[in-house]
Structure 1
Amino acid sequence: MQARRHKLASAIQLAVLCALPVLAVAQEATTLDTVTVTGSRIKRAEMEGRVPVQTLSREDIERTGLTSIGEVLQELTGSGSALNTKFNSSGNFGFSPNGDGVGAGSAQVDLRNLGPKRVLVLVDGMRWVNESSASGVSAAVDLNTIPLALVERIEVLEDGASSLYGSDAIAGVVNIITRRDFEGGQVTLNYGQYDEGDGEITGADVAWGFKTDRSSLFLSLSYTDQQEVSSADRPISAIPIQGGSSRILGGRYAFTDPSTVFYDLSVKPGQTNPVYTPGQPACGPGVTRTDGFQCFDFGRDAFNYAPYNLLITPSERTGVFGQYRFAFTEQLSFYAKALYNRRESTNQAAPEPIDLGPGAGPTYTANLVIPANHPFNPFGFTLSGGPGGNITTIRRRPIEGGPRIFEQQVDTQYFAAGLEGSFGGERQFFWDVNAAYGKNEADQTNHGSYNARNIAIALGDPAVCAATAGCTPLDIFGFDTITPAMLAYISPLFRDRSEQELTQVTANISGGLFPMWAGDVEFAAGYEYRKYEGSYNPDPQTIAGEYNGVPSGATSGDYDVNEAYVELNVPLYAQKDGAGKIDLSLAGRYSDYSTFGGEFTPKYGLRWQVAEDLLLRATYAEGFRAPSIGELYGSQSRFDAQLVDPCLVPPGAPAGSVAPIACPGVPVGARQNDPQIPVLTGGNPELQPETARSFSAGLVFSPSFAEAVSWSDKLDFEVTYYRHNLEGPIQAIDAQTQLDLCATTQDPQYCTGITRLASGEIDTFANFLVNLGSIKTSGWDADVFWTLPESNLGRFKFSWQNTFVTQYEAIGAGGVVQPQSPGIVVNDSAIPEWTSTASLDWKLGNWNAAWSIRHLSEMEEACVAADPSEFCSSPTRNVLEEITYHDIQLGYDFDWLKGLQLTGGVNNLFDKDPPVCTSCSLNGYEASTYDIPGGRFFYVRANLRF
């Protein structure tokens, strides 16, 4: 330990010496008597403009009409794509390639398009436990585990901050400040729905608190119920733009018969018990069969899975929060807080397909044998899927079993306590000691999936089935052939469970060290200990390899970290009249991880108060993100990717077409019948931390000529340039890139793990996590805030916030530049070049109103629609036109008890539909960026204080 302390001291000294010639800064927002603001650990009376922090007050949050912290943060101009209740995840996305499950029902935040796992989420300055959604061990926080009712304000630092907060703070920090100074009671009721009559949201919050000279108590109870919106109820989402699925209702049967003739058949519509006539000609153009089968044709037979999906997933959340504070003396106080939150959410997908034969997934269904004497085998000969067997593929969509329904129950517990104090005379020092524990437990129940072992038994030897308890021979040949008794045997419930725990202890001290010619040198220092524990336990049937759906194994792991940090603020210059001032800020943190060892991260900043109305600032920071439990220890799982196989003829191509690339082992003319390809992924215990370098520079201009004059009370301009360079990001090779590189180079580096069936279609696709490539992004924030003087027309406040992304470059395998860039949509992730939000607030007497305008610039994507002429701007590209949303709100305050406020509003006033996205996985639009189609949302809220 002594050696580590010596290393930390040497590193801080080196940081101080190296920082002197560097132009860099820190930033914050909020000025109280003596405060700590996100982005600095030093308590100061003067904090304004030190770092780029955006503060969302409770009034700002209520103006949005939204009921989730995640939804509020996703409307920030600097936010990127992240999960929310508009992502119908389970059953559709499989397991993500980064080992964290699917985040079903969660809401996350992404800053600077660097991903949710690179954003640190704090509650009152302490880390929040990462999410559990019963399908993995995530590296991101689920904001739906934090009730909106307990929020006083949210501070968002859009700058690298690993030196102050440790791992994960690469893209920025979200610090949620809870309500504490509250007297009396408050009841808030809200209701909203879309103008289509669906998606209802009901909510009720109750808050109560008291304050005395020495103590305070705040209690809150919150309830939110978000109802679903079906994909079938909007035209854009009611059809699969990519062309449907080859897992069809009557079944697809590709096999070689005893005379070695290959057939690729589907059941004729309406045939419950199709009759097979042997000896008919092999399938080809113009071939017509005279029995109950026809030659399979994707364009004619494809299944429309879209109506079974959800545009908004239902989510019911109940939270209880309490916070108590007691001051023993003026210099010593104690606090304790506790939270319990339950989220019950549901995802839904189309009926789960049953695949049999090579590439089917589980061994039971891949190698099954359907004997000739099976009572429902219409072909009269044995069908075998094992080595040397005659099945190429059998695919059946058993609509009789209904849709797949995934129900999550997520329980969050949080406890924290600490002591805060101060000492000293003229030079004050502030200290605090804190301990916190957070736990997320998630259970997911899966209805409508199948047991592959039972399918194989029910389709196998009738004598074995007869001797097996509960077995009923299964009929998959035809339409509507599966009876309730058959379903009872092959369709049990599947229950998965995951949990994460975070234990942390921190100690901090700050104050003035000694005076210099320009003022006091201020400091903050501290120690932090954290322990992470996480596990994912799939249903025993899944672990045994019997699950017919996406396979996965159990994950379990833990690690801990010891950290120490120092932050200094050194005044270099100050005019006697206080108009001009230059401050240098320095920070460094040493982190010792049980998984990979030590890491030191420095940060340097410079703040130059040129004049009373002009501030210049800049920062340079180094950061890192430690690999998470899921990334280190995640078991082999699968996610389903929408991929274009360059070795196969694309779906819908004319007869006689050839593949773009002739690949070894792929028959000429072989077609890609399904754009959804299963990809295996998993963790890697050899992963190293991601490292980052961040730079920001900007100005704050508050012209004195616009202060307290007839046309302006206050006018502020803020401009910030940002740049993040990330090296060795933890990721799998982009699946499409790996597939393309394998096809073009045949290099084992990319082809190992990709195997194909005799038909040419992909059988297995292994794609595991590594430290790969780099990510670079840069851009500008430009904001205007204007408060007008009060007049007979009322009081107006105007804000206009903008983010311009000038660069986003991700380098992947083989030095290949990934397709993501500003103005491009890829893999359900959009990066607009320009995002803008303008808001006008008005208040006159008891009336208040707000009007917000949200703008997203034009983007484009690769066209992967089945019919490019209908959905795309050209045969290969699709333009997502720019869009502007208008939100309005009107409220009135009644002088009843301590106040009754009634508010009503409409989001997406002019009912703008999102642009069609052909490459997005579901519902035909990009769900983390745009409002849902048919999305005019009306809401009312009543807020009573007593």
Structure 2
Amino acid sequence: MDFRHWATLSLTGLLAFSKSALSACPESGVQLPSGPLSQALISLGKQCRVSLVVQANNVSSIQVREQHLETPDGSIAPALRRLLDNTALTFTHTGTNAVAIVARAEQPADQESSKTQLLPAEEITVTGQSLTGSHLRHLKLDSYAPIDVLAQPELEITGAQTIAELLKFLPAVSGNSTSTSVTNGGNGTATVTLRGLPESNTLVLINGRRIVSNGFGGEAADLNTIPLSAVDRIEVLKDGASAVYGSDAIAGVVNIILRRDFDGLDVSSYYGQAERGDQQTNSYSITWGAGSETGHLMFSLAHYRQGEILSRDRDLSASADNRARGGTDLRSSASPQAYIALSDSVVTNTVDGIRPWTSGDLYDFREYTSALVPSDRQSLYVALSRTVSESIDAYAEIMSVRTRSESTLAPTPVFTRFDNGDLSIASNQVYNPFGEEITDVRKRVLELGPRVQSNGTDTWRLNTGLKGQVNDWQWELTAAAHYTQASETLNNLIDPNRLSLSLKGPDACSDAIGCIPVNLLGAPGSIDDTQLDYIRGENRVSGASRMSSVTYIANGPLGTSAAGDILAAAGIEIRREAIDFTSTDSDGLSLIGGAASGAAQGNRLIGEAFAEISLPLRANSLWLDGAVRYSEYSDFGNTANPKMALRWRPWPSLLLRASYATGFKAPTLVDMNQTGHQSQEFLFDPCTNSNAAQLPGCNGRADQDRIQYLTEFGGNPDLQPETSDNRSLGIVWTPGDFTGFHASIDLYEIRQNDVIDTSPQYLINQNAFNGLFDDRVQRDSQGDITRVIATRLNIGARDVRGVDASMRYQYQSREIGLLRWSLNSSHMSSYLNQLAPGSPIENLAGTFADAASGGAGSLPEWKANTGLYWQRGRWEGGYTIHYVSELEESFALNDQTITRTIDSWSTHDLQLAYGVPGGFRFAVGIDNLLDQEPPFAASAFNDNFDARTYDLSGRYWYTTLSFSM
């Protein structure tokens, strides 16, 4: 579907509306508790499903009685007027589904004594936390950067059961995020990538605080260790924020706000499965909370289990031979009957005897592989708070999460000429019938059975602290301790040292030394159990990441000018990070069929100081905001990063915003300390083309049947941070006479330098075309690559530009209830990428290059979603369209570089829910209503499509049943 047609379709929802409403309250009215006005507003916001923004201390000092308020036509306005009638407060609509409680503009003198006086305080959201991207508190529509908010009731109506599932289709998300949709190359974790930049360039926070990375010392937090049942809302800041949060916030910030003030009991269950009968998924959760004026306790328990999809069970992914689709044949030359290169021919050994090898003998490994990884998770989350004194509160948050996943790969392939060790078969080896030494055998050892990769992660998080107020300033002291332990087991591999010995003659391999000869040259089934037990190997990786920190933040009015209050915030943070992981490879060599993750041990101490200020230049219309953060790292030095922003409101309904910031991403402890990492990477050698004789780095034409090359990676203790410059310019329109409408458009640019990269493909290209890097790209006498050595360097540069646009509108009437429409889109106009100094600059916008070959993944020029939400009485419904524009990909075919188009893709999701009297809620939903298959990608290694961008499930049904009281 063309983007213009898609956008036109999405706008039809807006044309049907003519007036707005503030919320969707129960027609029977709302029941509010006695106590502080803040608790009454929390209850009102939840019942009417609206976000209320208020000055915290103003409402906490006001006591209200228990009362029932009428909400005619489901509008919150009459209830708010009645609730605030005897206070110095009123309300104003600040955007779709958002209401601000503010001071009355003027009060008659004779009434001032009868009204409760306001206390100076900062703005907070009663139903949540402060806005992501600043320690200063602003109304959402006054932010100097675009923010996507996924909140109730949107979280309920989507039917999503994981955070990764929620974020996957956000327009700003593109590139190489990971999830359980990634089998070969996945590790059971899930990450998010904004703007197509690597996962390490997006900072993930919980309640505005940094969390530990995954257990292997990875570059990003694992979203699978955050249970969705404990989430209140998710805020996605689409702008650089190193000045506010420090390292990693180059592309943006994902801030996951957990539920902390929940009162009552909520029990929910979910079941879903694909229409084709697989991917059976279920989840259960229970949340309870209660409190008083002096304390609150809440806990949440959750269980989630996702079923698998096998590659062979979908037409798109069933075969690696894609010639009929216009692609290439990606089947493997390592077949069960073996590829055997003799001195004068290439033969294969079938059950019918030895015959010449042909391309028809290539092996289709998709018969065994998982396309969607089965996984399960259990979690416990506890939040408690206690009033210590009139001005000090204490709090603690404890979370424990256990995740497990298991993926299936095809049986281990052996490439005797290219794998680790001396794997030549001696002429007098007992199973060698050819009477000559054989160096090149490619054998799929089906007798071992499929490789099974099991991943497990156990995560614990503790955040505790004190917060209070001194005069007009609020302060918070937080201590955190996070620990995550991960393990990975990959079985049915082959020990290269034992296999090497088993392929030699009787003088080297005999019973006397416990060596058992192995028959790699026989027909399928010729390797018996004794031989298998001798060579079978298992790779185990275990690792732990730790983070502990102490943070102090204070914020409040610094002073007052003629234009208004000068707001400021400042703080310090001391953080310690440590990793420790090892793998059980074979004497530093990767086991055949697996990868040697190597080992890394390291730690660092980080000290940071930061400050923010907001200067009003003209009352209620012009503000200058600034922030700076100084960071001192014990292992590479220091860096300082500022941010400046200007907000101008020429009219009450129009906001112009612009910002400039610098950012940085510190090299990870793995980047600096890893040793012994080996992997068979999916790369392309230009020396396999027919023009190899004309290329300076080629020694004859290399083997055209190879798609994987043994690659050694390594850390570099001399790495420096990646740096960036972020620029944005935007406009927000909220017409006062059209109060249910909000529109924004923002231009962004991210310039990044000193990018840490390994880029083995760049090394191979430079070696082939220019004769460079002979020490890193090692070739044998026949010109075939035997090993690529790629250590990490600060060598890359990027420049990403684009536009974000969003619109929201809501309408309510007695006849049809509440209708809420939204459109969210992101356009990537350019993605200029330079792998290394002197290399060409490529524009990757609108292209796909698989992560398995070192590419940046799918970078669509357009990605968008539009949705319509409806509520009337006990009924609710939702309809959402997701859209990804077409992409271009390039691949080699018959000595030519082919460029083809990957079709655009759109899916339709539908949900319907009913609130049963007594607190029960029943919902049914259909994802991918029209059963749209992902578009075919010829260069995609996993399952012929990009699992990081699209979904293979097809039409998917689910149902939920919940109870709340």
Tell me the TM-score normalised to structure 2 length.
0.83
Matched with 1:666 is: 699
Q: 1:521 to 1:882 in 2, by over 3 A?
A: same
1:922 aligns with 2:908: no
Matched with 2:446 is: 399
Alpha-carbon distance between aligned partners in 2 of 1:607 and 1:662, rounded to the nearest angstrom: 56
Alpha-carbon distance between aligned partners in 2 of 1:664 and 1:935, rounded to the nearest angstrom: 46
SS at match of 1:303: coil
Alpha-carbon distance between aligned partners in 2 of 1:886 and 1:44, rounded to the nearest angstrom: 35
Alpha-carbon distance between aligned partners in 2 of 1:696 and 1:184, rounded to the nearest angstrom: 43
1:220-246 CA distance string (max 9 Å, x none): 111110111000111211111342111
- Within a 5 Å distance, the mapping from 1:619-658 to structure 2 comes to 619-649=659-689, 658=691
Determine what percentage of the aligned residue pairs are the same residue: 30
| One-letter amino acid of the counterpart of residue 106, structure 1 | T
Kept in 1: contact 2:697–2:769 (CA 8 A)? no
1:719 aligns with 2:800: no
Kept in 2: contact 1:840–1:852 (CA 8 A)? yes
Matched with 1:59 is: 153
Matched with 2:338 is: 251
Kept in 1: contact 2:237–2:254 (CA 8 A)? yes
SS at match of 2:813: coil
| One-letter amino acid of the counterpart of residue 956, structure 2 | F
Alpha-carbon distance between aligned partners in 2 of 1:468 and 1:499, rounded to the nearest angstrom: 42
Matched with 1:148 is: 228
Alpha-carbon distance between aligned partners in 2 of 1:501 and 1:865, rounded to the nearest angstrom: 47
Kept in 2: contact 1:119–1:168 (CA 8 A)? yes
- For residue 858 of structure 1, the aligned residue among 886, 908, 912 is 886
SS at match of 2:941: coil
- Within a 5 Å distance, the mapping from 1:450-599 to structure 2 comes to 450-462=494-506, 465-467=509-511, 471-478=515-522, 479-539=524-584, 541=586, 543=588, 549-574=594-619, 580-599=620-639
Matched with 1:911 is: 931
> As a proportion of its length, which structure holds more strand?
2
1:199 aligns with 2:279: yes
Deviation of 1:840 (Å): 0.1
Deviation of 1:548 (Å): 6.0
Deviation of 1:46 (Å): 8.0
Deviation of 1:369 (Å): 5.3
Matched with 2:306 is: 226
Matched with 1:756 is: 779
SS at match of 2:494: coil
Alpha-carbon distance between aligned partners in 1 of 2:677 and 2:416, rounded to the nearest angstrom: 20
- RMSD across aligned C-alpha pairs, in angstroms? 2.2
Q: 1:263 to 1:39 in 2, by over 3 A?
A: same
1:838-889 CA distance string (max 9 Å, x none): 01001111111000011111111014468x9xxxxx9712211112110000
Matched with 1:119 is: 202
SS at match of 1:170: coil
Kept in 1: contact 2:451–2:493 (CA 8 A)? yes
SS at match of 2:688: coil
Kept in 2: contact 1:865–1:918 (CA 8 A)? no
Q: 1:45 to 1:107 in 2, by over 3 A?
A: closer
Kept in 1: contact 2:658–2:730 (CA 8 A)? yes
Alpha-carbon distance between aligned partners in 2 of 1:745 and 1:370, rounded to the nearest angstrom: 37
Alpha-carbon distance between aligned partners in 1 of 2:956 and 2:292, rounded to the nearest angstrom: 42
Matched with 1:293 is: 354
Kept in 1: contact 2:319–2:366 (CA 8 A)? yes
Deviation of 1:464 (Å): 5.8
Matched with 1:433 is: 477
1:180 aligns with 2:233: no
Alpha-carbon distance between aligned partners in 2 of 1:31 and 1:692, rounded to the nearest angstrom: 35
Alpha-carbon distance between aligned partners in 2 of 1:47 and 1:883, rounded to the nearest angstrom: 32
Matched with 1:326 is: 386
SS at match of 1:789: strand
Alpha-carbon distance between aligned partners in 2 of 1:397 and 1:52, rounded to the nearest angstrom: 52
1:423 aligns with 2:470: yes
Alpha-carbon distance between aligned partners in 2 of 1:180 and 1:671, rounded to the nearest angstrom: 60
Matched with 2:877 is: 849
- For residue 123 of structure 2, the aligned residue among 20, 23, 34 is 34
Deviation of 1:545 (Å): 6.3
SS at match of 1:736: helix
Tell me the TM-score normalised to structure 1 length.
0.85
Alpha-carbon distance between aligned partners in 1 of 2:169 and 2:411, rounded to the nearest angstrom: 34
Deviation of 1:443 (Å): 1.3
Kept in 2: contact 1:79–1:112 (CA 8 A)? yes
- For residue 781 of structure 1, the aligned residue among 795, 804, 808 is 804
Alpha-carbon distance between aligned partners in 2 of 1:687 and 1:144, rounded to the nearest angstrom: 29
- For residue 80 of structure 1, the aligned residue among 134, 157, 174 is 174
- For residue 377 of structure 1, the aligned residue among 432, 445, 451 is 432
1:623-667 CA distance string (max 9 Å, x none): 111100111111142333333322123xxxxxxx55484445623
Kept in 1: contact 2:730–2:744 (CA 8 A)? yes
- For residue 909 of structure 2, the aligned residue among 865, 887, 909 is 887
Deviation of 1:430 (Å): 0.4
Alpha-carbon distance between aligned partners in 2 of 1:617 and 1:631, rounded to the nearest angstrom: 37
Deviation of 1:473 (Å): 2.8
Q: 1:833 to 1:546 in 2, by over 3 A?
A: closer
SS at match of 1:813: coil
Deviation of 1:670 (Å): 4.5
Please identify, of 447-456 and 637-646, the stretch whose mean Cα deviation from structure 2 is larger: 637-646
1:372-422 CA distance string (max 9 Å, x none): 1x43222234x3xxxxxxx44122111111111110111001111100101
For these two proteins, the number of residue pairs brought into alignment is 831
1:35-59 CA distance string (max 9 Å, x none): 2321111245787334322111032
Q: 1:153 to 1:670 in 2, by over 3 A?
A: closer
- For residue 704 of structure 1, the aligned residue among 719, 730, 736 is 736
Deviation of 1:540 (Å): 5.5
- For residue 655 of structure 2, the aligned residue among 596, 615, 624 is 615
1:431-466 CA distance string (max 9 Å, x none): 000011111111112211111222223333446654
| One-letter amino acid of the counterpart of residue 910, structure 1 | L
Deviation of 1:472 (Å): 3.5
SS at match of 1:788: strand
Deviation of 1:593 (Å): 0.5
SS at match of 2:551: strand
Deviation of 1:343 (Å): 0.7
Kept in 2: contact 1:86–1:927 (CA 8 A)? no
- For residue 399 of structure 2, the aligned residue among 339, 353, 369 is 339
1:560-605 CA distance string (max 9 Å, x none): 110001101111111xxxxx41111111111000011111100001
Kept in 2: contact 1:471–1:486 (CA 8 A)? no
Q: 1:660 to 1:469 in 2, by over 3 A?
A: closer
Kept in 2: contact 1:137–1:634 (CA 8 A)? no
SS at match of 1:705: helix
Alpha-carbon distance between aligned partners in 1 of 2:555 and 2:810, rounded to the nearest angstrom: 35
Alpha-carbon distance between aligned partners in 2 of 1:737 and 1:544, rounded to the nearest angstrom: 24
Q: 1:125 to 1:201 in 2, by over 3 A?
A: same
